[in-house]
Structure formats: C-alpha cells, structure tokens
Amino acid sequence: MLSFDPKKSTERENYKLVIGSIIPRPIAFVTSLAKDGTINGAPFSFFNIVSSNPPMISLAIQRKNGERKDTARNILERNEFVVHIVDEENVEKINITAVSLPPNESEIKKAGLTLASSEIIGTPGIKEAKVRFECTLEQIIELGDGHSIGTDLIIGKIVHFHIDESIYEDGRINHQTLGAVSRLAGSNYAKIGEVFSIERPK
C-alpha cells in the first residue's frame, strides 16, 4: 500500500487524494444575499449532515488566496442562507453557477434559474430544486495550518424545509424520484445506481 505524508505534499496533491477517495459527495447549491441585494448562488460538494436534533448541516468553503468566497462572506454578514439538493434535472444549470463572477453579478441570473421566496429568512432560494433548506448561521470555524486560513467551515441550522410533493411519501423522501446527483473527482458526477440493504445488528 502506498503511503503519503500530507505535510510533505502540495495542497493540490492532498486535494486530489481527498476528493478522489471521499466519494460520492452530495452537492449543495447555496444561495446567499449580498449587502447590495445581489443574490449569489454556488455549488459545494464539501457538504453534509451535522445533526437531526436540531437539524443542522455543514458547508466547508475553501478560500481563494486567503480571501473568503462570496458565499461565506454573505453568510457571515447576513447570518442566513438557503441550501438546495442538486439533482438530475437541475445539475446542468447549477454547473453554470460555478463560474467566477464579480460580487455584484448574480450567478442565478446567468444560469436562468428562478427565484423562490423563503418563509422564515430573507434570502430566497430557487424553484428548480425539489429540496431546499432555509438555514441560519449557527457557527463559522476558520480552519488553517497555523500560518494561514484556508477554509471556512459553516454550521447551519435548518429553520424551514421545502420538499416537492413528488418525492414525499409517508413522511420520507423517495430517493428514486429525488434523483440526487453526487460529485466525484475532476468533472465527473454520479447518479444513484444499484441500491442494497444490510440489516444492522441488534
């Protein structure tokens, strides 16, 4: 088995090992509101569940040259954001939002996405997602190597759920009708393929 010391590897080398190994990764499309009212939208695959009681999610947003990305900055300033689950029907448009734009230009508009008002918070979501979570900022943790900060780890509390009727059955989400997609390495994505069950020991 090969052995690597991350301290002796470059950031890019470590990145490739992490994203190539930790797969598949769910994709969060996040909308946030800038000070000037611009609606920012961006996809993130460093995303997961933190807790169900209360419901919380995590987003790890990498900095660029030490600077916070628009999404992280907006979340810190507004203390709120909306998370959407990326699926087979919206992934093409969501991919367009990964483009690098000035802070005063909206990725939502560029991708041709449709805004949807939120119930609890002021930041809108998009109609093209079957699942969206209105979130408030619970905590933001700056992560680095002791010399510089490379990542903003955001913990968000879900304050309202929006679930499309087509995927909701008997209090559960139908994974087949949701059709969530996940991120692999490079430009590769994955759909949910073969599903199998294993009973947990009692």
In this predicted model, what pLDDT tens digit does every residue of 76-88 receive, in sequence order?
A: 999 999 999 999 9
What pLDDT is recorded for position 104? 85
Mean pLDDT for 32-59 is: 97
The pLDDT confidence band at residue 188, using thresholds 50, 70 and 90, is very high
Q: How far apart are CA 86 and CA 183, in angstroms?
A: 10
Q: pLDDT averaged over the chain?
A: 96
Q: What is the pTM of this model?
A: 0.94
Closest CA to 160 of 115, 117, 120: 120
pLDDT in tens, 92-118: 999 999 998 888 888 999 999 999 999
What pLDDT is recorded for position 131? 99
Beta strands in the chain (DSSP E): 25-26, 28-33, 39-44, 47-52, 55-62, 80-85, 115-116, 125-126, 131-144, 149-163, 168-169, 172-173, 181-183, 189-191
CATH no. of 12-45+70-134+160-184:
2.30.110.10
